[in-house]
């Protein structure tokens, strides 16, 4: 029976996954239905003769055929485009590990640091003070090219995932091992490559990709089968030489094969001592007749990675998104949350003002009844004037709230990544004061210049500057006071 994935693990109510290699474009669409994630549609195209614009057009046309309006989109990066390295980091502190990897990532590839996108997952601590990590590296232009294609198709990219990790996590959720300390080995047979994957507790700890013709893998010829067995054993030996964990006891086979591979005598004899298991796509995925019909026309294309990516997007450890894009998205999300909080606060204030206004109105009505016997006309006039005054106050209040949000947003946009905001105070006289910490004093003076050049502020003054020494060097604490420019809209 297919895997009924938990609602908390499933990515979203609807999701579109795109996998693009040198030969094929795979587009899959799925949606949550009750307690399972149904894979609704799939489209496969041969793109060996297509450029980027033509590929984007194919995606756009497929969306129209699938009748998709609003959905998240994830890009599955094929394993052959990814360099993986198992390295030891001389620290167990997460922040230090990240800093060390940022500095050393370029040493593990022939590319410079700004030419690559990388992420990592922690495998475990060894000798009490070293951390084993799996480093995943892909050329930045590969990620950006695919993002551009998806954007040209009218879609917004929500994530970039590694197919091998997605499959490992999905199989772990399906077949959780009783002994979590023993890794599991996967052999995924694709149309162009064979992927050898080792994972522990759903975390990818080793990946190797080899180019072995599909006919050799599927052959019943003992000599050809022996080539495949030799490649599997070679990969296990390479894995063991990394000393990542214990030797695996079980090997899963998936992809463009059938159950007969487990009965291959050459395979069984060559991998004696390992428990072999075949995973059919129907064991993991709910597929309708239309999807099965499309897949039957492409016997050399495996859908396992694109399907797995939709089901495991929210629990993926490796996210191959450029660091600057990731930080920009984080700032955007924080700005949205801040804006929502500000709107909520404003709404509460408006409701409070309305409540007080109604309360005052009722009080005036009561007062009017007490005094109506001798000053009815005068009281009526005063009541109308009071209502007019309250209306004017509310109108001015509502007109100004947008200005406040605009100026606060401008401050966040001006602040560079190297400056950390500590306090922020907006006063009634339209003066803003804040304190912050910068990585250098020159950064403070540069920030003052940038604020002075903004059309939203004037009269920028430096309240104080103070240098102090921290673990990684010297930083500068400072405080600024500035005035909101009321005529910035002119």
The band of 360, judged by pLDDT with boundaries at 50, 70 and 90, is confident
343 and 360 within one domain: yes
Confidence check: pLDDT of 169 > 90: no
Given 321, 340, 364, the domain boundary residue is 321
Residues 238-290 pLDDT 10s: 988 887 777 888 899 999 888 888 888 888 888 888 889 888 888 888 888 88
- Mean pLDDT value of segment 194-209: 89
| In-domain check, residue 343 | yes
- Mean pLDDT value of segment 171-184: 76
69 and 144 within one domain: yes
290 and 364 within one domain: no
269 and 296 within one domain: yes
Count of domains forming the chain:
3
140 and 184 within one domain: yes
pLDDT at 376: 59
147 and 26 within one domain: yes
Given 302, 321, 340, the domain boundary residue is 321
| In-domain check, residue 298 | yes
Lowest-pLDDT range of 13-22, 30-39, 151-160: 30-39
Per-range mean pLDDT, top range of 84-88, 173-177, 309-313: 84-88
| In-domain check, residue 97 | yes
300 and 348 within one domain: no
118 and 214 within one domain: yes
| In-domain check, residue 393 | yes
The band of 397, judged by pLDDT with boundaries at 50, 70 and 90, is very low
Confidence check: pLDDT of 365 > 50: yes
Instruction: State the SS3 of the chain.
Output: CCCCCCCCCCCCCEEEEEEECCCEEEEEEEEEECCEEEEEEEEEEECCCCCHHHHHHHHHHHHHHHCCCCCEEEEEECHHHEEEEEEEECCCCHHHHHHHHHHHHHHHCCCCHHHEEEEEEEEEEECCCEEEEEEEEEEHHHHHHHHHHHHHCCCCEEEEEEHHHHHHHHHHHHCCCCCCCCCEEEEEECCCCEEEEEEECCEEEEEEEECCCHHHHHCCCHHHHHHHHHHHHHHHHHHHHCCCCCCCCEEEEEECCCHHHHHCHHHHHHCCCCEEEECCHHHHCEECHHHHHHHHCCCCCCCHHHHHHHHHHHHCCCCCCCHHHHHHHHHHHHHHHHHHHHHHHHHHHHHHHHHHHHHHHHHHHHHHHHHHHHHHHHHHHHHHHHHHHHHHHHHHHHHHHHHHHHHHHHHHHHCCCCEEEEEEEECCCCEEEEEEEECCHHHHHHHHHHHHCCCCEEEEEEEEEEEEEECCEEEEEEEEEEEECCCCCC
The band of 1, judged by pLDDT with boundaries at 50, 70 and 90, is very low
pLDDT at 7: 41
| In-domain check, residue 52 | yes
| In-domain check, residue 9 | no
The band of 56, judged by pLDDT with boundaries at 50, 70 and 90, is very high
| In-domain check, residue 6 | no
- Mean pLDDT value of segment 410-438: 86
257 and 383 within one domain: no
Lowest-pLDDT range of 80-84, 174-178, 192-196, 253-257: 174-178
Confidence check: pLDDT of 131 > 70: yes
Given 409, 425, 443, the domain boundary residue is 409
| In-domain check, residue 404 | yes
- In the chain, pLDDT over 90 holds for what percent of residues? 18
Domain that holds residue 391: 323-409
155 and 253 within one domain: yes
Average pLDDT, the chain: 83
The CATH number covering residue 481 comes to 3.30.1360
Confidence check: pLDDT of 394 > 50: no
């Amino acid at each position: 029976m297919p895997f009924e994935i938990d609602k908390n693990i499933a990515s979203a109510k609807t999701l579109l996954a795109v996998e693009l290699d040198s030969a094929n474009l795979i587009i899959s669409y799925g949606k949550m239905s009750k307690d399972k994630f149904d894979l609704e549609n799939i489209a496969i195209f041969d793109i060996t003769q297509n450029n980027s614009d033509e590929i984007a057009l194919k995606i756009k046309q497929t969306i129209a055929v699938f009748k998709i309006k609003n959905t998240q989109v994830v890009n599955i990066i094929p394993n052959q485009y990814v360099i993986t390295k198992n390295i030891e980091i001389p620290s167990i502190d997460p922040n230090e590990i990240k800093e060390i990897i940022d500095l050393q990532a370029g040493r593990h590839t022939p590319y410079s640091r700004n030419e690559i996108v990388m992420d990592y997952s922690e495998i475990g601590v060894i000798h009490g003070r070293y951390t084993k990590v799996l480093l995943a590296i892909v050329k930045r232009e590969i990620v950006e090219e695919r993002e551009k294609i998806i954007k040209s198709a009218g879609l917004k990219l929500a994530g970039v995932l590694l197919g091998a990790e997605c499959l490992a996590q999905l199989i772990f959720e399906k077949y959780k091992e009783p002994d979590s300390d023993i890794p599991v080995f996967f052999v995924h047979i694709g149309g162009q490559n064979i992927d050898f994957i080792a994972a522990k507790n759903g975390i990818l700890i080793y990946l190797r990709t080899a180019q072995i013709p599909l006919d050799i893998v599927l052959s019943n010829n003992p000599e050809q089968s022996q080539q495949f067995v030799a490649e599997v054993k070679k990969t296990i030996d390479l894995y063991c030489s990394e000393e990542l964990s214990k030797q695996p006891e079980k090997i899963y086979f998936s992809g463009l094969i059938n159950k007969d591979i487990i009965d291959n005598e050459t395979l069984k004899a060559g991998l004696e001592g390992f428990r072999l298991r075949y995973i059919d796509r129907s064991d993991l995925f709910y597929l309708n007749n239309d999807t099965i019909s499309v897949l039957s026309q492409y016997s050399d294309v495996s859908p396992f990675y694109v399907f797995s990516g939709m089901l495991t997007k929210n629990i993926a450890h490796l996210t191959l998104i450029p660091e600057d894009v990731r930080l920009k998205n984080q700032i955007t999300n924080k700005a949205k949350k801040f804006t929502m909080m500000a709107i909520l606060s404003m709404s509460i204030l408006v409701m409070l003002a309305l409540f007080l206004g109604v309360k005052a109105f009722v009080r005036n009505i009561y007062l009017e009844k007490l005094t109506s016997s001798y000053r009815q006309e005068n009281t009526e006039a005063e009541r109308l004037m009071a209502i007019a005054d309250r209306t004017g106050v509310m109108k001015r209040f509502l007109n100004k709230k947008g200005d406040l949000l605009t100026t606060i947003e401008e401050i966040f946009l001006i602040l560079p990544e190297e400056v950390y905001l500590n306090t922020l105070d907006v006063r009634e006289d339209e003066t803003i004061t804040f304190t912050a910490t910068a990585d250098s004093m020159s950064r403070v003076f540069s920030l003052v210049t940038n604020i002075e050049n903004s059309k939203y502020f004037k009269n920028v003054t430096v309240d104080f500057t103070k240098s102090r020494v921290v673990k990684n060097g010297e930083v500068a604490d400072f405080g600024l006071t500035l005035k909101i420019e009321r005529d910035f809209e002119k």
